[in-house]
Amino acid sequence: MTTIDLIAASAQPASATGQNDLKSALKFITCGSVDDGKSTLIGRLLVDSKAVLQDHLAGVQRGGETDLALLTDGLSAEREQGITIDVAYRYFATEHRKFIIGDAPGHEQYTRNMVTAASSADAAVVLVDATKLDWKNPAMELLQQTRRHSLLVNLLRVPSIVFAVNKLDAVEDSALAFNNISAALTAFAEAAKIAVKAIVPISALKGWNVVDAAETGWCGYTGPSLLDLLEHLPATPAETGEAFAFPVQWVEKFSSSSDTSQGRRVFWGRVATGGVQPGQTVTVLPSGQTAVVAQVLDHIRQPRAIPAGHSAGIVLDREVDVSRGDWLLAPDTFTPSREAAVTMAWMDDEPLVAGRVYWALQGHRWVKAKVRRIVHKLDVNTLAEEDASELPPNAIGHVELSFQEPLVTLPYLRSRILGSLVLVDTASHKTSGAALVL
Amino acid sequence: MNARFNETHVSHEPDLLAKLSNSHLDALEEETIFILREVAAAFERPALLFSGGKDSLVMLKCAEKAFGVGRIPYPLLMIDTGHNFPEVTAFRDLRAKELGAELIIRHVEDSMKRGTVRLAHPDEPRNAHQSVTLLEAIDEFRFDALIGGARRDEEKARAKERIFSHRDSFGQWQPKAQRPELWTLFNTRLQPGEHFRVFPISNWTELDVWQYIEREQIALPSLYYAHPRKIVERKGLLVPVTELTPARAGEEVVEKLVRFRTLGDITCTCPVDSPAATAAEIVIETLAADVSERGSTRMDDKTSDASMEKRKKDGYF
């Protein structure tokens, strides 16, 4: 079979919902500690899957050697310091799948950029540097950033988490190292209740088991190569199981009612949970009015029912007060509340202190939010709860918020959209915190 | 860039394109339309940068789908260096008229007359000076969001930029202080004088763009397709011989069948050797390409590793 035949065989139309459709692109991030080889791994994936063009490859030759990390570290400050500051997005495709890689920084001070990349990822590859661990000792300590990043991606509900044990070319006994490190990772994941898809031995520098499978039994491992594994991971499932919730993004007004079968306004947005079709009753938040869905359009204005995760244009059977930021909801299902307990990933350079008022953005709705109480700060290495009066930059903690107007929320574990909000500083307008509803 | 293939000659069998169908295009289109609507809703005075090039024509196609023909809720803005290919400007004007869109054109030459743009020498490429004219236009119309057709696969600095990219009152991008962009919660709050650059096709690759052009049968300026052109070969590039870019002493002018992968200012855009006369043939060529779009065509990106980053910090797109 030629490459083109392979592409052809795999390029079937997407399933109706896109759920678990392996042909859909996989968005994954790489994370782990500084110098664990994240940028090198991405460079290796790109080069070995032949996704790097000659002029880009020529740009990363230094003294006759190819520095794969330079393929992704695109900012001059990153090249100067040899570190990754912000997420670089890279694209490549194999015969089986398209990939979008978010190369997230490892430094603690850039946690906000790592959280940014993780919030929309289908999978996370957490790199573990074998050479930095006391691998001869079965009871070794993992690095802080390994634990931290694993806990973060798990907290953000990245659906698939994979550990890639790297630099196994640089240890004397790679089989023993992989065995002991795997055991430590498994024990940590179990204790932290993190579901791990796989633990894969690799050498990003040498290209072992990254794209092409290593020799059978290398490090005692007989599973697929890292890329093989990524090709078969599921995309993030849409939240179709919950009741219908729809944040109104944009209200389109028509001067003539001939544009739609009913009414003069179309409410556009992306279905957060459940689905929408003509005939169902909806309640508008915050007005509380009720109406029946007369017409549903997809993102290109074709009439059809729309499931969670996709954009819809909704026309109601009567004129009700709906504007951007409002929600259309399945009736009698959601209880708006002025309060929420959240896990907060704090991103501002100024610490979070109780009593301050921020803007909160949820869906397309902006409301004022007050920090009522910092319940505790999480030790990001262990997730142990510590007393705290403030959350310093890059800290994570439990916080109680009160809102100026009621919001409908669900726990983040049930809905990423209803369960997530960002806090924006009212003075600097910076995005200061990411909140996940408990 | 997408995966390429070792086969140097990909056969042109008729049903190849059907086999290469890109189901991912629907997701990209939907994301782009979502972002275009978000801009319409979140900003008071947005504009869509429209050059008549393929990326802006893809965006315009998505805008047409998002809002309906004749209803694009923002003006189109073109910053004209005065060094454009006439085929492209004619096409740009025609397309804007067909769509019933307002087209605002601002000229680098006017900035030169005002003295806000000074050239080091008369035939210096004006591409980098577009930033000045652009910022003047932003000031003049008090635009709060400018939608651009940049893609992250084009260049390393672009690969780092957010979809909603905050710019300060000097139009500067501050890569170290980018706003976190979590889920699809776009923080579009501005201080007076600041604005956003918004990139709805960030996640598209060159191949995706061509596959979409082919699928949607989007009309493009003729220069994107193979045509005979007088060129000279210089530093590995095919430099078009025009009034603005004459052959240098000792250079041999030859006629070649070429097409443009990207269309910018005449003085810094080069075509590539190609017989591809349709979007379908370009899709196949793009799959087999082993040099990037910018690498093969842009004279101005080669100055230094960080030339795009530097220009973005100066207010460039």
Q: State the pLDDT confidence band at B4, using cuts at 50, 70 and 90.
A: very low
CB contact under 8 A, B27 and A119: no
Residues in CB range of A118: below 8 A, 6 or more apart:
A29, A31, A102, A104, A124, A152, A153, A156, A158
Q: Which residues of B touch A116 (CB under 8 A)?
A: 180-182
- The partner residue sitting opposite B189, judged by closest CB among A4, A421, A429, is A429
Calpha distance A90→A115 (Å, rounded): 17
pTM of the entire structure? Answer: 0.89
The alpha-carbon gap from B40 to the nearest alpha carbon of chain A, in Å, equals 8
Q: Does A260 touch chain B (CB under 8 A)?
A: no
Strand partners of residue A252:
A266
Residues in CB range of A433: below 8 A, 6 or more apart:
A344, A345, A346, A347, A348, A352, A358, A422, A423
- Assign A234 to helix, strand or coil: coil
How many whole angstroms from its chain centre is CA B208?
14
Structure tokens at A426: 């009212």
Where in chain B are all domains bearing CATH 3.40.50.620?
23-207+306-314
Q: Does A59 touch chain B (CB under 8 A)?
A: yes
CB contact under 8 A, B19 and A8: yes
Q: What 8-state DSSP symbol labels residue A109?
A: G
Neighbours of B198 (CB within 10 A): 26
What would the mean pLDDT of B204-219 be, rounded to a whole number?
94
All structural domains of chain A with their residue ranges: 3-231, 245-329, 337-437
Q: Does A240 touch chain B (CB under 8 A)?
A: no
* pLDDT for residue B184 is more than 80: yes
Q: Which residues of B touch A268 (CB under 8 A)?
A: 37
How many whole angstroms from its chain centre is CA A419?
14
Domain B23-207+306-314 is in which class?
alpha beta
Q: Tell me the Cα Rg of chain B.
A: 19
- Assign A430 to helix, strand or coil: coil
What would the mean pLDDT of B287-303 be, rounded to a whole number?
65
Calpha distance A280→A63 (Å, rounded): 67
Neighbours of A61 (CB within 10 A): 11
Calpha distance B189→B166 (Å, rounded): 9
- The reported pLDDT for the residue numbered B153 is 87
The chain-wide mean pLDDT, for chain B, equals 85
The alpha-carbon gap from B112 to the nearest alpha carbon of chain A, in Å, equals 30
Helices A174-192 & A144-155 angle (0-180, nearest 10): 50
What would the mean pLDDT of B51-64 be, rounded to a whole number?
93
* Tally of residues, chain B: 317
Do the domains A245-329 and A337-437 sit in the same CATH topology, yes or no? yes
- The reported pLDDT for the residue numbered A188 is 93
pLDDT tens over chain A, length 438 residues: 333 333 333 333 333 333 333 457 999 998 877 666 787 888 888 888 776 666 666 666 666 666 766 666 655 666 665 556 667 788 888 878 889 998 877 666 667 777 888 999 999 999 999 999 999 998 899 988 888 889 889 989 999 999 999 999 999 999 999 999 999 999 999 999 999 999 999 999 899 999 988 887 899 999 999 999 999 999 998 999 999 999 999 999 876 555 555 567 999 999 999 999 999 999 999 999 999 999 999 999 999 999 999 999 999 999 899 999 999 999 999 999 999 999 999 999 999 999 999 999 999 999 999 999 999 998 877 778 999 999 999 888 999 999 999 999 999 999 999 999 999 999 999 999 999 999
Contact between B78 and B51 under an 8 Å Cβ cutoff? The reply is yes
Higher pLDDT, B10 or A433: A433
Calpha distance A416→A414 (Å, rounded): 7
CB contact under 8 A, A422 and B305: no
Q: Which of residues 276-335 of A touch B (CB under 8 A)?
A: 299-301, 310-311, 324
∠ Cα A24 A25 A30 (to 5°): 145
Q: Which residues of B touch A436 (CB under 8 A)?
A: none
Q: Which residues of B touch A3 (CB under 8 A)?
A: 5-7
- Interface predicted TM-score of the whole assembly (ipTM), two decimals: 0.88
Strand partners of residue A329:
A245, A283
Q: Which residues of B touch A115 (CB under 8 A)?
A: 180, 182
Q: Which residues of A touch B11 (CB under 8 A)?
A: 4
* pLDDT for residue B182 is more than 50: yes
CB contact under 8 A, B153 and A91: yes
Q: State the pLDDT confidence band at B313, using cuts at 50, 70 and 90.
A: low
CB contact under 8 A, B180 and A301: no
- From the number of C-beta atoms within 10 Å of its C-beta (0-12, 13-18, 19+), residue B5 rates as middle
Residues in CB range of A42: below 8 A, 6 or more apart:
A30, A68, A71, A72, A90, A101, A103
Q: Does B193 touch chain A (CB under 8 A)?
A: no
- The reported pLDDT for the residue numbered A71 is 67
The H or E element that residue A246 is part of is strand A245-247
- The partner residue sitting opposite A53, judged by closest CB among B21, B190, B292, is B292
The alpha-carbon gap from A283 to the nearest alpha carbon of chain B, in Å, equals 22
Q: Does B8 touch chain A (CB under 8 A)?
A: no
- The reported pLDDT for the residue numbered A1 is 32
Contact between A260 and A254 under an 8 Å Cβ cutoff? The reply is yes
Calpha distance B317→B201 (Å, rounded): 13
Q: Which residues of A touch B40 (CB under 8 A)?
A: 250
Q: Which residues of A touch B1 (CB under 8 A)?
A: 51-53, 91-92
Q: Does B64 touch chain A (CB under 8 A)?
A: no
Calpha distance A75→A92 (Å, rounded): 21
Q: Give the closest residue to A191 by CA, choosing from A156, A127, A142, A137.
A: A142
- The reported pLDDT for the residue numbered B20 is 60
- The reported pLDDT for the residue numbered A75 is 57
Calpha distance B228→B245 (Å, rounded): 17
Calpha distance A429→B190 (Å, rounded): 7
- The reported pLDDT for the residue numbered B204 is 95
Residues in CB range of A244: below 8 A, 6 or more apart:
A271, A273, A274, A275, A276, A280, A282, A328, A329, A330
Q: State the pLDDT confidence band at B6, using cuts at 50, 70 and 90.
A: very low
Q: What are phi and psi of A336, to 5 degrees?
A: -65, 145
- The partner residue sitting opposite B183, judged by closest CB among A25, A59, A416, is A416
Strand partners of residue B224:
none
CB contact under 8 A, B34 and A299: yes
Q: What are phi and psi of A246, to 5 degrees?
A: -145, 110
Q: Does B65 touch chain A (CB under 8 A)?
A: yes
Calpha distance A198→A195 (Å, rounded): 9
CATH architecture of A337-437: Beta Barrel (2.40)
CB contact under 8 A, A89 and B202: yes
CATH architecture of A245-329: Beta Barrel (2.40)
CA distances from B57 to B41, B62, B87 (A): 22, 9, 14
Domain A3-231, CATH 3.40.50.300 — does that match?
A: yes
* pLDDT for residue B21 is more than 70: no
